[in-house]
Amino acid sequence: MASLFEYLTANGDRHLRQFPFNSADNVLLCLLFALPFERVLGERERQPFPLAAAELLRHQAEWPRFFNHYEDARLLYLAASSARFGGMAVERCVSVTSPREEIQFAAMTCALDDGSDFVVFRGTDDSFAAWKEDLNMCFLSPLPAQLRAVAYLNGAPRDRPMRLGGHSKGGNLAVYAAAFCDGEIRQNIVEVYNNDGPGFSRELMRGAAYQAVRDRIRTYVPQSSIVGMLFEHEENYEVVRCRGAGFFQHILHNWQVGPLGLLTTDRVSGSSRYVSGTLRSWIENSTAQEREALIDALYDILLRVNVETLSQFGENWTGNILALFNSISESDPRIRRMVWEALVSLGRAAAQNLPSPARLGPILGRRHREGPEGGEPERGEPPLPGVRL
């Protein structure tokens, strides 16, 4: 199995007209355009990709800490230097984050040199506003970012075929935008890539808007998917082979590719099915009002710690965890009771979703990792450094 670096090294000299766009290209562009291109490119600007990449690399010291600076910079340089992507232009770069509006949204358009566009919707960054908006999916539809995604897509050129893609929340935004954009735009959409992004409610998926694009949706989830298994996916999804364990498989650098695209297997792991089943049970057995009240209460508690991002929280994690517990203990008794009842409810859902004893080993991580069929662990896949299996 190969990494994105090996894929790009092997195929970088093959133009898109010679070797058509595939699922690995989708993942590579979604990973690259999670980088902060808004720092070097405005909403009404258009630049050759190599120039924008070079400018972004010059500002690498200013990138947020949660990026993998070495691997991201290396992949960006290889892509910008390749014949496959070096001829594309980037434009319409938009980024909006507002804690008050509880929104985090970013998108950019890649004008490929085969005459098509790839519209990338960014996933969740490390701001608490972004994570709050993700949690709002439990009770709110549409989200502010989903409405922004529709408006962004409606501003696209109407004379070019296009593909849409995104990772995590970005994949959800890509599907939502495709479903609810103007009909004239929708008819130009060739494919929509949802890379380990959450699904939607059953009601939304039964609607005419979703059904109009259902057959063009390509959903990919890693073997230990958690985010991508949330809510419902009426469309078929493919399971990607990955390095690492658990949530580390959500990181696109760990997705494995072959000569023609992503490498897939037959099913997600037992731990993925267990966690997603537990969360679904909790959602189905609580009302939207209860979920909204709980999430708002937890968010208010978190804001009292006086940090705005996970990176800031991690700079003094011991002190911030202490401040978090103090905030909970000082909160209104009604809030404390609500949090406790939610934990009890989640524990009850976890107990109800426990599999048979024979399946507990993989879920609890007892020196075993499931292979593609849920049996023997695969060989030749080293875990990430520091991750114990």
Answer yes or no: do 38 and 85 share one domain. Answer: yes
First to last CA, the chain: 20
The continuous run of DSSP H or E covering 270 comes out as helix 270-284
Answer yes or no: do 339 and 233 share one domain. Answer: no
pLDDT digits (tens), the chain, 389 positions: 489 999 999 999 999 999 999 999 999 999 999 999 999 999 999 999 999 999 999 988 888 766 667 889 999 999 999 999 999 999 999 999 888 888 899 999 999 999 999 999 998 877 777 777 777 877 778 999 999 999 999 999 999 999 999 999 999 999 999 999 999 999 999 999 999 888 888 889 899 999 999 999 999 988 766 655 555 555 678 889 888 776 677 888 889 999 889 998 876 555 555 555 666 666 667 777 877 777 777 777 777 777 777 777 777 778 877 877 777 777 777 766 766 666 666 566 556 655 554 444 444 443 333 344 333 333 333 333 333 22
Q: Which residues span the domain enclosing 61?
A: 4-269
pLDDT for 169: 92
Answer yes or no: do 146 and 291 share one domain. Answer: no
**Quick check: is 230 in a domain?**
yes
Answer yes or no: do 157 and 305 share one domain. Answer: no
Predicted TM-score (pTM) of this structure: 0.79
Q: Which two tokens stand for residue 250?
A: 């959500």
**Quick check: is 350 in a domain?**
yes
Answer yes or no: do 177 and 312 share one domain. Answer: no
What is the tally of structural domains in the chain? 2
**Quick check: is 291 in a domain?**
yes
Answer yes or no: do 228 and 309 share one domain. Answer: no
Rounded CA separation 63/76 (Å): 13
Rounded CA separation 171/274 (Å): 22
Rounded CA separation 339/293 (Å): 10
Rounded CA separation 291/335 (Å): 13
pLDDT for 377: 38
The residue type found at 367 is R
Answer yes or no: do 166 and 41 share one domain. Answer: yes
Contact status, residue 193 vs residue 161, Cβ threshold 8 Å: no
Answer yes or no: do 298 and 211 share one domain. Answer: no
Looking up tokens 């202490």, which residue turns up?
Answer: 322
**Quick check: is 363 in a domain?**
no
**Quick check: is 29 in a domain?**
yes
Q: Which two tokens stand for residue 140?
A: 């709110």
Answer yes or no: do 167 and 89 share one domain. Answer: yes
**Quick check: is 386 in a domain?**
no
**Quick check: is 341 in a domain?**
yes
Answer yes or no: do 149 and 208 share one domain. Answer: yes
The residue type found at 105 is F
Answer yes or no: do 214 and 297 share one domain. Answer: no
Answer yes or no: do 264 and 136 share one domain. Answer: yes
pLDDT for 272: 55
pLDDT for 111: 97
